[in-house]
Structure 1
Amino acid sequence: MSLALDALILVTGWTHVLLAPYTKVEESFNLHAVHDVLMYGVAPSSLPNYDHFVFPGAVPRTFIGSVLLAWMSKPAIYLAASFGLVPSKFELQVIVRLVLASINAIGLCLIRHAVSRRFGRPTGLYYTLITCSQFHVPFWMGRTLPNMLALLPVNLSAYLLIARAPNTLKPSQRSVSASIALLIFSAVVFRAELAALAGALLLQSIYSRHISFWQAFAVGAISTLASIAFTVSVDSYFWGQPYLWPEWHSIYFNVVEGKSADWGTSPAHAYLTSHLPKLLLSALPLSAFAVFSSAPKRLLSLIFPGAVLVSAMSAVGHKEWRFVVYVVPVWNVVAARGMSAMVSQRKSSLFGRLLFLGASGALLANLGATILLTAAGVRNYPGGEAMVILNARANVNTTGVNAHIGNLALQSGASLFTHVHAPPYLAFLAPSPVQWVYDKTDNPPSYAGYTHIVGEEASPPTAGGSAFGFMRKKDAGWAELGHVDAFERWALDLGLLRQGKEGMGMLERAQGVLRLEEKTRLWVLERTVTGK
């Protein structure tokens, strides 16, 4: 049973990677850093080829996670290549994402083992079912967001605190020290908001006498200084800047200068009323039930650091679910305790049967929401699908292709791994028989030199054209290779149940009540006459 539950967590993460293999712009820095480490290596002579010197982003990001992920992916890449499973560069992206999903699955499995040991095997089972039936963590655990690179050390920290015998009143000092050190490392290197989680755990541990003040001070100081030294030494090398600490630049840019507000602001209650309900789904009411129905002292100690993180991030104007995603695994533990309490009630009473139905309904609600969210998410990467249409032209257009990739395509899946007909290539990967140019220039002064365009209009862009930079009439010099539809909204048509179209059966009516509507987002164009 234990092995089956671990496999379920792993397969769930892998399934989401395979269903949605493309990536968004938020993932691009780490994904392209992995690409460059794999393709060019890390020697000083290789660094000028790296993508981040051309597209550096608003603030520098650490290379530590990307380098480690690239190195850890190499054995899987070579193994897949030996079986002929790597026909192009794009398969490398899928393998890298599967490796990252596996790494994060290990963290979740460790928490499950700790839960089974401390709270019993049924609670470990419910933890697995809750985790796998949610959307955000399984869908994103294989994506190269900095938050997902930080998720493993955060989950290892939680594992160290939870993993103890049922009758043990407190964790060992060694476990507490290691847990605090992992959170500090994650905050210094990957995501600065984790400082709130580390600080809350540190204060809680001192208050609960799990660690003395001076021990906590020593652990905090040593971990902070060592982590800063590590990231500064690595990232100064890759960015070519002395004494570079990427996360300090992020703090200064987003908090001190307040630039995070440029990406939009949300009300203070947004995490409580919007983001956490979406992240946790039915685990939110289940965790509340657990706190009020069982031993609240043990469970509140698990929730407290995450609650501090949510409160701290609520004071920042710009809010995103990924800033607090770290609380999900631990709060799922509390929710599993709630589900265990509900299922363990005697089924001979009405109250016990209602609780059992409530627990079952919570999982079904999770699955229903996750199916809808996954169906929408899979259809939300038009850039990746457009690159498939473009790259398929290699069968007929063998040379001289100069393709311009537009902004929306770059934001929604057109990564460096989709440049399958352009170097660089790994040594064992046969070069493409054609050599293309994929141009990511933003608003080039002229489009005359391009043979192909992946753009947001059915007509090609022209310098000085319409107010949006596009012609409104079809240009006879271009042909449409294809277009890509992407998710627009879920449409609800209750009237279809009452009165369907002629010839529609009841099952067809029910299936049409909720339908996914799409809108054409990208067009792939090919020049048919020589441009001037």
Structure 2
Amino acid sequence: MAMLLKIGLSTHNLLVTLSFLIICFYVIICPHNKVEESFNTQAIHDIIYYAGNVSQYDHLVFPGAVPRTFLGPLALSLFTLPLSPFFSKTCVYTIARTCLGLFFLMGLSALANAARQHFGSSIGNRFLLITALQFHVMFYASRCLPNTFAFVLVLHSLAALLQGADLRFIFLSGLAILAFRAELILFYGPLLLFGLYFQLVKIRPALILAGLTTTFGAVCTSVFVDSFFWRRWLWPEGEVFYFNAIENKSSQWGTLPFYWYFLIGLPKALLCTTFLVILANLSILCDRRTRMRYPTTLLFGLELAAISFVLVYSFLPHKELRFVLYAVPIFNFMAAFSWESM
């Protein structure tokens, strides 16, 4: 048993290293960014080179359609700042993206480790390999998008949920929703129900207190930090949610049909593993013995939560793959289950 555990851990470390090399590869061959990344990219630059002289910051001249939080760029800048005197601005940006990719990978590794407890090291390792070989997840891992900052928290929160660390799950999910992507409430709602059903989350005074404290702390932190940088009182993610969900102005950037995520977006992200996900579901639905096992039931419940998120999100007319990319790791678990069963 000890030998098998050692082999499993060494394989895990090897796959994590492979994933990091792939992320670095994408950082190097794709050095430029799209307009969606411009705010965070410029914010990292301004924090490093202008520090407290906010009047020089780019966002005051080019604010964009909606205000974004400075919490993500601020965190990356803290790790990049010590190296900035020794490298060019281009290299500093590359270092910042590599740091973001490393934080993402830490979350991915934590999720794979958490999965080992329920599904075994084989599925955990297959999950890592599948994810590493998919283009979109590894590509977005180092992009300075609000979605990527949120994705880091999503991975750690999923790991906490599978480990039954419900207080940590509540904290991380609350931070992801209130500071980075408000629409993640559509993702965490089904996940919370999943956690309650499988007793990974237990309603008690400590949990309620954690939820209230996280809500108050995340909103206040965002308001105080971002109001300083934006030079007016605001809660960025509140304004973004109102713009996208209430006013539905995101549709000005184009619309796609309801079925796009299920028939085009997710298959594009999953690539060949789409067939493994389908096979896994057929196996669970058609084989009663497979369906009755606790790990399988747990995995199927996790997938239902992900499907619910994508289904509800499909009602918003403006669609981009990065909006639902948080569900891909869950589908990759299903693919890993199918692969192991062959």
With the length of structure 2 as denominator, give the TM-score of the two structures.
0.88
Say whether the 8 Å CA contact 2:162–2:200 is kept in structure 1.
Answer: no
| Number of positions where the alignment pairs a residue of Structure 1 with one of Structure 2 | 321
Query: What amino acid does structure 2 have at the position aligned with 1:246?
Result: P
Partner of 1:226: 217
Q: What is the DSSP-based 3-state SS (H/G/I as helix, E as strand, rest coil) of the residue aligned with 1:187?
A: helix
Counterpart amino acid of residue 242 in structure 2? Y
Cα-to-partner distance string for 1:34-81 (whole Å, 9 max, x where unaligned): 00001011x2xx000000001000010000001001112234556xx3
Aligned to 1:262: 252
**3-state SS of paired residue (1:193):** helix
Q: How big is each residue's C-alpha offset from its partner over 1:502-527, in whole Å with a ceiling of 9 and x where there is no partner?
A: xxxxxxxxxxxxxxxxxxxxxxxxxx
Distance 2:30 2:194 in 1: 40
How far the C-alpha of 1:214 sits from its partner, in A, is 4.9
Partner of 1:326: 326
Question: Which residue in the other structure is 2:179 paired with?
Answer: 189
Contact 1:184 1:198 in 2 (8 A): no
CA contact (8 A) 2:258 2:315 kept: yes
* Distance (whole Å) between structure 2 residues aligned to residue 76 and residue 137 of structure 1: 27
Partner of 1:65: 72
- What displacement does 1:282 show? 2.3
Offset of 1:341 from its aligned partner? Answer: 0.8
Matches within 5 A, 1:264-343: 264-293=254-283, 294-295=290-291, 296-342=296-342
Deviation at 1:218, TM superposition (A): 3.8
Alpha carbons of structure 1 residues 50 and 210: separation in structure 2 relative to 1, 3 Å: same
**Secondary structure, counterpart of 2:245 in structure 1:** helix
Structure 2 distance, partners of 1:211, 1:20, is 40
The 8 Å contact of residues 135 and 279 in structure 1, kept in 2 or not, is answered as yes
Alpha-carbon contact 1:63-1:235 (below 8 Å) kept: yes
CA–CA separation in structure 2 for the residues paired with 1:184 and 1:326: 15
1:106 matched to 2:119? The reply is no
> 2:226 matched to 1:235?
yes
Name the structure 2 match of 1:38.
48
Tell me if structure 1 keeps the 8 A contact 2:48–2:84: no
Which amino acid letter does the alignment assign opposite residue 323 of structure 1? Answer: F
> What residue number does 1:123 align with?
123
Distance, in Å, in 1 between the alignment partners of 2:32 and 2:236 is: 26
Q: 1:109 to 1:209 in 2, by over 3 A?
A: closer
Q: Deviations over 1:320-340 (max 9, x none)?
A: 111101111222122111111
- Aligned partners of 1:206, 1:114: CA distance in 2, in Å? 18
The letter of the residue matching 2:184 is: L
**Structure 1: how far apart are the matches of 2:280 and 2:35?**
38
Letter in 2 for 1:109: S
Q: Percent identity?
A: 37
Question: Partners of 1:262 and 1:221 in 2: how far apart?
Answer: 35
1:18 is matched with: 28
**Contact 2:161–2:195 under 8 Å retained in 1:** no
The aligned residue for residue 5 of structure 2 is none
Contact 1:63 1:238 in 2 (8 A): yes
Contact 2:173 2:188 in 1 (8 A): yes
Contact 2:280 2:335 in 1 (8 A): yes
Task: Note if 1:3 corresponds to 2:6.
Answer: no
CA contact (8 A) 1:184 1:194 kept: no
| TM-score of the superposed pair, with normalisation by structure 1 | 0.58
- For 2:84 and 2:334, the matched residues in 1 are separated by 38
Write the deviation string for residues 213-263 of structure 1: whole angstroms up to 9, x where unpaired.
Answer: 455544433322221111111111110112x10011111112222211111
Partners of 1:219 and 1:206 in 2: how far apart?
Answer: 16
Q: Secondary structure of 1:316's partner?
A: coil
Change over 3 Å in CA distance of 1:108–1:210 after alignment to 2:
closer
Is residue 70–residue 229 contact of structure 2 (8 Å, CA) maintained in 1?
A: yes
Q: In structure 2, what is the equivalent of residue 428 of structure 1?
A: none
Letter in 2 for 1:326: Y
Offset, 1:6: 1.4
Quote the Cα distance in structure 2 between the aligned partners of 1:302 and 1:39.
44
- Structure 1: runs of 5 or more not aligned: 164-170, 343-532
Q: Compute the displacement of 1:268 (Å).
A: 1.0
More helix by share: 2
Alignment correspondent of 2:147: 147
Alpha-carbon distance in 1 for matches of 2:224, 2:303? 35
The alignment's C-alpha RMSD in Å is 1.8
Aligned-partner Cα distance in 1 for 2:194–2:111: 20
With 205-214 and 28-37 compared, the bigger mean Cα shift is at: 205-214
Give the deviation of 1:31 after TM superposition: 0.6
Provide Cα deviations, 1:127-175, integer angstroms capped at 9, x if missing partner. 1221111010111111100000111110001112234xxxxxxx3xxx1
Is 2:198 the partner of 1:178?
no
Which position in structure 2 is the counterpart of 1:96?
96
Uncovered stretches (5+) of structure 2, i.e. residues with no partner: 1-9, 284-289
Q: Match for residue 50 of structure 1?
A: 57
In the alignment, the residues of structure 1 paired with residue 27 and residue 281 of structure 2 have an alpha-carbon distance, to the nearest angstrom, of 34
Evaluate the alpha carbon distance shift between residue 161 and residue 283 of structure 1 in structure 2; reply closer, same or farther with a 3 A threshold. farther
CA distance in 2, matches of 1:57, 1:184: 25
DSSP-derived class of the 2:182 partner: coil
Aligned counterparts, 1:330-409, within 5 A: 330-342=330-342
Q: Could you tell me whether the CA contact under 8 Å between 1:5 and 1:128 is conserved in 2? A: yes
